C-alpha cells in the first residue's frame, strides 16, 4: 500500500539513524517482500518435513540438532547463503553444506542463546512469493525452544509478531494446541488471527494405523474439527496432511523407485506378509533388497507410504518414478494445503504485509515517545488514519470479528461474510456463477447493501455488530460500483 510505504519513509526521516532506522528499513523491506508464512506446532509435529515438501527440496533439518532449536527463515535468493541474526542485531555469515540433500548448518560453537534467528537464502521458485519460517517445537522439554517460537509469533512488550500468516500443525486437538493458538490470537487483529491462520492435521496417515484408507479417516476427522466452535474461532480451516509422503513425493529418487518396483514384483502372499509391520518389512530373511535399503525406504515412506506405493505398483496402475512421485504427493494432501495457501493467503498478501508493517510501526512510535512525544503521537495518529480509511483493513477486521466469534452471526450470514471478503471475482463474492452478467451482480449487490445497511441502523444492534453490518454494506457498494463501471 502506497500510504504505508510513504509513512515508513517519512518516519525514517524523523527517527534519524540507529536501531529505530534499521527497524523501519526492515519493515519497509517486508512490505515489498514475499509473504512470510510461519510453520508452528508441537515437537515432532512434522514442521520441517512440511517445509521441505512445500519447497520441493530436503532443506530443513528434521533431526534434533541445535539448528532446529532456532527460528529459521527460508527465502528466495540468487545464490546460496546462510546468516545468523544475533539478538544484538548483528548479521554473521554461517558455514553450511548439503548432506544427503539436507542442509547442515555449522554454528561453529556459537551459543544459540545469542542468536535471534537464522536466515537461509536459496534459489527456489517455490520461495518467490512466500518465505517459509521453520519454528522450534512448542511444548518442548527445553523451555527456551518454545519461548523462541512464542516470542517470534506472539506480540510481547509492544513487539509485533514477525509472520504475516501461520500454518499450525497438530496431531489431534490437544488442549495445549488450543491454548497455543489462543495465545497467538490477537483479539484486536494485531497479528495472528483466524483470517491468517490455518491448521493442519499432521502425520494424518498414522491416524488410521497406516491402513490404505488412513487418509480418508483423517479427512473425516478434519471435517469434524472444522465444525468445532472453539477451533473455528482460532483458525480458518483444518486440512489433513501426510507430511512424510509429501516430502518424499517431492524428492523421490529413481533408485528408490527401482527398489519399490523390485519389492512389488514379489508374490502376492509374500508382499502382503512384509507389509504387515516394520519388523516384517525389515526382516533379514527377506532376500529382495538388502536390509539397509528396506530400512531407508521405511524412513522415507513410512508403512502407509509403502502400502500405497507397493499396492499400486503390484496392480500395474503406476510404474515410473514420476508416476510414483505424483501418487505420493496426491495421496499426501499437499495439493490441498498448497491450494489453500494460494487461495487464502497469497491474494491477501498485500494487506497482510501492510498490516504487519503498521503493527511494527506502532512499536517504533512507542519507542519514539521516549525522546520525541509529539512525533510519536503524530505517527500513531497517522497509523490510525490509514487503518480507518482503507476498506481492505476494514474487511480484514470484519472477517476477524466473525471468525473469532467476537460477533456471532447465523451460519448463513457467516458464510456470506466469508464469501464476500474472499479474493474471488465480483460474481463469486456475491454468490453467483463466474459468468454472471453485470446486471445480475448489481441486483444482488444492491439487495446486500439495503439488507446490511438496515441492520446497521437498527437501534437494537450493538456497536461491534453494527460495525460488521456497515462494512458488509460498504463491500457490496464497492462491488455494485465496479459492476456499473464494466
Which pLDDT score is estimated for 452?
94
Which pLDDT score is estimated for 310?
96
- The CA distance from 161 to 150, in Å, is 9
Q: How confident is the model at residue 191 (pLDDT cuts 50, 70, 90)?
A: very low
Would the pLDDT of 189 be above 50? no
* E strand segments, 53-184: 72-76, 81-86, 91-93, 95-99, 102-106, 115-122, 130-134, 165-170
Would the pLDDT of 279 be above 80? yes
Q: How confident is the model at residue 183 (pLDDT cuts 50, 70, 90)?
A: low
Which pLDDT score is estimated for 280?
95
Contact predicate 402/417, CB 8 Å: yes
Which pLDDT score is estimated for 190?
42
Would the pLDDT of 442 be above 90? yes
Q: How confident is the model at residue 140 (pLDDT cuts 50, 70, 90)?
A: low
Give per-residue pLDDT as tens, 11-38: 777 777 667 777 787 788 888 889 999 9
Give per-residue pLDDT as tens, 361-374: 888 888 888 888 88
Contact predicate 318/37, CB 8 Å: no
Distances (CA, A) of 114 to 96, 182, 192, 453: 19, 29, 26, 54
**What's the grid cell of residue 14?**
524523523
Phi/psi of residue 442, nearest 5 degrees = -60, -40
Give per-residue pLDDT as tens, 43-85: 888 999 999 999 999 888 766 555 678 899 999 999 999 999 8
Average pLDDT rounded to a whole number, residues 196-210:
89
Which pLDDT score is estimated for 156?
55
Output 45-48 pairs: Cβ under 8 A, ≥24 positions apart. Answer: 45/137, 45/169, 45/170, 45/171, 45/202, 45/203, 46/169, 46/202, 46/203, 46/241, 46/243, 46/244, 47/134, 47/135, 47/137, 47/169, 48/134
User: What is the pTM for the complete model shown?
Assistant: 0.82
Give per-residue pLDDT as tens, 91-122: 889 998 887 767 888 887 788 888 888 999 99
Contact predicate 314/217, CB 8 Å: no
Which pLDDT score is estimated for 157?
47
Average pLDDT rounded to a whole number, residues 397-424:
83
Amino acid at each position: 500500500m502506497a500510504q504505508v510505504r510513504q509513512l515508513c519513509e517519512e518516519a525514517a526521516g524523523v527517527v534519524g539513524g540507529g536501531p529505530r532506522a534499521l527497524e523501519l528499513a526492515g519493515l519497509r523491506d517486508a512490505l515489498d517482500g514475499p509473504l512470510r508464512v510461519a510453520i508452528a506446532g508441537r515437537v515432532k509435529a512434522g514442521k520441517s518435513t512440511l517445509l521441505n515438501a512445500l519447497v520441493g527440496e530436503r532443506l530443513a533439518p528434521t533431526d534434533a540438532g541445535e539448528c532446529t532449536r532456532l527460528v529459521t527463515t527460508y527465502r528466495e535468493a540468487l545464490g546460496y547463503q546462510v546468516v545468523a541474526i544475533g539478538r544484538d542485531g548483528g548479521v554473521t555469515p554461517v558455514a553450511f553444506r548439503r548432506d544427503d540433500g539436507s542442509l547442515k548448518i555449522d554454528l561453529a560453537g556459537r551459543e544459540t542463546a545469542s542468536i535471534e534467528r537464522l536466515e537461509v537464502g536459496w534459489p527456489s521458485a517455490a520461495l518467490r512469493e512466500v518465505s517459509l519460517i521453520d519454528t522450534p517445537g512448542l511444548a518442548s522439554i527445553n523451555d527456551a525452544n518454545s519461548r523462541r517460537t512464542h516470542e517470534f509469533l506472539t506480540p510481547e512488550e509492544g513487539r509485533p509478531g514477525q509472520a504475516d500468516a501461520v500454518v499450525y500443525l497438530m496431531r489431534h486437538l490437544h488442549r495445549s494446541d488450543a491454548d497455543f493458538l489462543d495465545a497467538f490470537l490477537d483479539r484486536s487483529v494485531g497479528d495472528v488471527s483466524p483470517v491468517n491462520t490455518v491448521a493442519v492435521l499432521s502425520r494424518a496417515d498414522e491416524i488410521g494405523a497406516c491402513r490404505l484408507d488412513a487418509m480418508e479417516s483423517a479427512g473425516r476427522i478434519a471435517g469434524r474439527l472444522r465444525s468445532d466452535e472453539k477451533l473455528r474461532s482460532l483458525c480458518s480451516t483444518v486440512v489433513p496432511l501426510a507430511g512424510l509422503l509429501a516430502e518424499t513425493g517431492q524428492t523421490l529418487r529413481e533408485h528408490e523407485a527401482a527398489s519399490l518396483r523390485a519389492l512389488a514384483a514379489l508374490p502376492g502372499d509374500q508382499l502382503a506378509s512384509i507389509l504387515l509391520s516394520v519388523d516384517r518389512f525389515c526382516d533379514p530373511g527377506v532376500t529382495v533388497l538388502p536390509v539397509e535399503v528396506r530400512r531407508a525406504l521405511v524412513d522415507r515412506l513410512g508403512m502407509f507410504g509403502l502400502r500405497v506405493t507397493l499396492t499400486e505398483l503390484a496392480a500395474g496402475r503406476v510404474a515410473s518414478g514420476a508416476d510414483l512421485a505424483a501418487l505420493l504427493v496426491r495421496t499426501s494432501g499437499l495439493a490441498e494445503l498448497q491450494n489453500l495457501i494460494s487461495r487464502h493467503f497469497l491474494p491477501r498478501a498485500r494487506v497482510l504485509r501492510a498490516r504487519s508493517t503498521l503493527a511494527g510501526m506502532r512499536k517504533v512510535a512507542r519507542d519514539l515517545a521516549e525522546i520525541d512525544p509529539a512525533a510519536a503521537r503524530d505517527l500513531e495518529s497517522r497509523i490510525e488514519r490509514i487503518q480507518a480509511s482503507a476498506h481492505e483493513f476494514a474487511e480484514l477486521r470484519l472477517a476477524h470479528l466473525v471468525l473469532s466469534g467476537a460477533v456471532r452471526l447465523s451460519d448463513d450470514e457467516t458464510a456470506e461474510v466469508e464469501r464476500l471478503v474472499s479474493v474471488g471475482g465480483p460474481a463469486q463474492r456475491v454468490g453467483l456463477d463466474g459468468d454472471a452478467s453485470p446486471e445480475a451482480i448489481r441486483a444482488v449487490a444492491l439487495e446486500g447493501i439495503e439488507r446490511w445497511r438496515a441492520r446497521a441502523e437498527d437501534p437494537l444492534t450493538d456497536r461491534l455488530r453494527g460495525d460488521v453490518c456497515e462494512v458488509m454494506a460498504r463491500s457490496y457498494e464497492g462491488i455494485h460500483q465496479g459492476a456499473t463501471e464494466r
